[in-house]
Structure 1
Amino acid sequence: MVRDFQDSDKGRSVLTADGTTIGHVQGVDGDMVHVTPETDLDTAIRQTLGWTAEDEEVYELPHSSVERIDDTGIYLE
């Protein structure tokens, strides 16, 4: 089981399961983190995450999308 998000997760990298960095945590709100995506994030990854709105600078990522959290970052399923 993946631990809950914590305030200390701010600034942590968010990565795909294969280790590609997709963004960084800007804030924590319960079972959701707010992520600033990498500027060169692949369109296919954005679509998979539902991060397709052009005018957004920060996107929400639910805890249910996380496979693990460790010292190097938050890894998605």
Structure 2
Amino acid sequence: MPSKVSEDEVGKDVVDAQGDQVGIVSAVKHGTAHVDPEPGITDKIRTTLGWEDTDEEDYPLQEEAIDTITDDEIRLESGL
């Protein structure tokens, strides 16, 4: 079972089970990470500075889809 999603995850890469990046965590709202699948340089700077921002292209990441959370990334379960 992965750790709970917290504000510390903002800016982390989200990778699939093979290690391929699928986006970055743009915000955490009510314990749910929101992922920007196509972050631009502005998005990366915002998250690096800790400025949360979501838009209609971001999607919520269900906790059941998370395999592990490390200092650098959120790795998704295989088979998704």
Q: Which runs of 4+ in 1 moved over 3 A?
A: none
- Normalization by structure 2: what TM-score? 0.69
> 1:4 is matched with which residue?
4
Unpaired stretches in structure 2, ≥5 consecutive residues: 40-55
Percent identical among aligned pairs is 34
Give 1 or 2: higher strand fraction: 1
> 2:62 is matched with which residue?
62
Between Structure 1 and Structure 2, how many residues are aligned?
61
- Normalization by structure 1: what TM-score? 0.71
Task: State the alpha-carbon separation in 2 of the partners of residues 68 and 31 from structure 1.
Answer: 15
> 1:72 is matched with which residue?
72
Task: State the alpha-carbon separation in 1 of the partners of residues 36 and 66 from structure 2.
Answer: 16
Unpaired stretches in structure 1, ≥5 consecutive residues: 40-55
